[in-house]
Amino acid sequence: MNLPKGKDFLPPWPLRSGHVQTMLSSSGVRRFLLPQAAQTVLQGAEPVMVDGGDGVRLTGAYTAQRTQPRSRGLAVLFHGWEGSVDSTYVLQTGSRLLADGWDVFRLNFRDHGDSHQLNEALFHSCRIDEVVHALGDIATRYPGRPMALAGFSLGGNFALRAALRGPAAGLPLSYALAVCPIIDPGEGLFSLEEAAPWFYQAYFMHKWRRSLQAKQAAFPHREYFELSELKQNLRGLTASLVARHTDFGSLEAYLDGYSVAGRALEGLHVPVTILTARDDPVIPVDAFEQLELPANVELDIAAYGGHCGFIRGWDMTSFTDDYIAARFNAVAVE
């Protein structure tokens, strides 16, 4: 079976800039221009409260396929940092998989997608245990086979860690795919501060502060941060998060806590694909090239695509739709 490769993605000249790809990926312009078919996963979607263990509650949405007599399996999708189950790229991917006969579950991480009121403790990127537990709950509720997982950016990082932990946790996970995942959080943080244009950090900080304000409003008796802390840059506010709301002794220890750099993925037993772009301005490609991976992991570095963009043309559809669907469908055939 010939599967699409990153090298196959060659957008028209105006879209070959990694910055243009990145900025368009989550823009309102893209959502407006996308064809209606990119949002069909919303039709008949069932809101679901998922058990994250230890009293943690996470939200999600389940959509059953109606195109085939029998479902190909269950596709679970993870959004990126400060995204949600309704992020454009999640809806677009989910709609494509639905059309191909997959049941689709879109999971919100803690404090994402208007779920701030459900859990008093704050979200942070090392909360992998509750995500793995939630996957177990999802698998029990919807026991379709196979179960395949795809995540974007930070969601891609969570997908890789979930694949690492899946066998020991008893997850019926057959395959995982990560698009532009965070590999080395320390390097990524440095890149956003020092190498990436200023507006990327400004964009992420605006979304994060807005999320923290929603959290504070949901639990007014708590003081999550002082006003002076909220005015800090990305590194400073992350350090305050670590000191106030985690058991990690330092910012470096926290960043190491969700790193999948170097040899961290050598223990993967689930087949995995990692897709990234050499022109990604948010996550440096060096971290991908330094990975030490087992034979069942496919590392695919495209020349173009930006950060989770891979936008093919002015209809704003993404190459990742075909890419993910082809690999999920191959898993269903096996």
* CA of residue 188 relative to chain centroid, distance: 15
Per-residue model confidence (pLDDT) at position 294? 98
Residue the block writes with tokens 């090392």: 126
Torsion over CA: 285, 26, 42, 69 (sign): negative
Neighbours of 211 (CB within 10 A): 17
Per-residue model confidence (pLDDT) at position 332? 87
The answer to whether 188 and 283 have CB atoms below 8 angstroms apart is: yes
Torsion over CA: 151, 86, 50, 69 (sign): negative
Spell out the alpha helix ranges (H) of the chain.
18-25, 28-33, 88-99, 128-141, 154-169, 185-190, 198-218, 227-230, 234-245, 251-257, 286-289, 319-333
How far CA 294 is from CA of 205, 275, 332, in Å, comes to 36, 16, 22
* Side chain identity, residue 263: R
Torsion over CA: 246, 249, 251, 256 (sign): negative
* CA of residue 250 relative to chain centroid, distance: 25
In order along the chain (334 residues), what is the average pLDDT of each group of 10 residues? Answer: 94 94 87 85 97 98 95 97 95 97 98 97 98 98 92 98 97 98 87 76 92 97 95 94 97 97 97 98 94 98 97 94 97 78
Nearest to 235 by CA among 294, 300, 187: 187
Environment class of residue 143 by beta-carbon count within 10 Å: exposed (0-12), middle (13-18) or buried (19+)?
A: exposed
The answer to whether 319 and 310 have CB atoms below 8 angstroms apart is: yes
Contacts of 254 (CB under 8 A, 6+ apart): 124, 125, 126, 238, 242, 246, 248
Torsion over CA: 116, 122, 123, 128 (sign): negative
pLDDT one-digit tens code per residue, 89-109: 999 999 999 999 999 999 999
The answer to whether 154 and 125 have CB atoms below 8 angstroms apart is: yes
Per-residue model confidence (pLDDT) at position 257? 97
Share of the chain above pLDDT 70, in %: 99
Per-residue model confidence (pLDDT) at position 334? 61
Give the Cα separation of 23 and 20 in Å (integer): 5
Question: β-pairing, 56-63 with 74-78?
Answer: unpaired
